[in-house]
Amino acid sequence: MTWQYPHKTWASLSMFVFGVVAFLAGALGIISPITANKVNNFPDATDYHGPHWKLLEPISRSVISLARASNMAAFNMGAYYILSSIYNIRAFFVWTVPFRCVTFSVFMYGAYTDSHTQLATIAVMELIGAIATGVGLYVDAKSQRKKVTQKQ
């Protein structure tokens, strides 16, 4: 017996794919925030051993804690996206599109103002996911209207 994705709609598929990516990225960041930072090309907060290391050590630990918390949010978000796609909760799909665009804007602002170009990659992934889901919702609705029209 093989597992088969239950909903054959573009919107639910886009949510499922994005959810799996977020879930796995979040899991990696929970298990090893330093590895997750390296994968995303963020600087390693624990790799500084200059003359002021003792002053910076608490900040370094705080950065790792914040990274782990952020990854926990990604992990949970991934789970929500996967579950919503499996149960085809289209109202949830609709609400994610504008919020993912807001996330894109905030991350791009951070990339621009904080000189963390790595955030731009994550921002673009968010925007691509929002566009894919939005287009999927449109295509699915158009297909559904076509089916209803053909039945009449």
Asked whether residue 78 is assigned to any structural domain, the reply reads: yes
Asked whether residue 96 is assigned to any structural domain, the reply reads: yes
Q: Which amino acid is at 72?
A: M
Asked whether residue 106 is assigned to any structural domain, the reply reads: yes
What gap in Å lies between CA 56 and CA 47, rounded to an integer? 11
Coil, helix or strand for 134? helix
Asked whether residue 4 is assigned to any structural domain, the reply reads: no
Asked whether residue 34 is assigned to any structural domain, the reply reads: yes
Give me the mean pLDDT over the 85-100 stretch: 94
Q: What pLDDT score does 51 carry?
A: 58
Asked whether residue 31 is assigned to any structural domain, the reply reads: yes
Asked whether residue 20 is assigned to any structural domain, the reply reads: yes
Q: Could you read off the pLDDT of 42-81 as tens digits, one per residue?
A: 766 666 555 555 555 555 667 778 888 889 999 999 999 9
Q: Which residue segment(s) compose the domain that 79 sits in?
A: 10-151
Asked whether residue 88 is assigned to any structural domain, the reply reads: yes
Q: What pLDDT score does 33 carry?
A: 83
What gap in Å lies between CA 27 and CA 71, rounded to an integer? 7
CA 121 to chain centre: 11
Quote the pTM value. Answer: 0.80
* Contact call for residues 18 and 133 (beta carbons, < 8 A): yes
Give me the mean pLDDT over the 77-101 stretch: 95
Domain count, the chain: 1
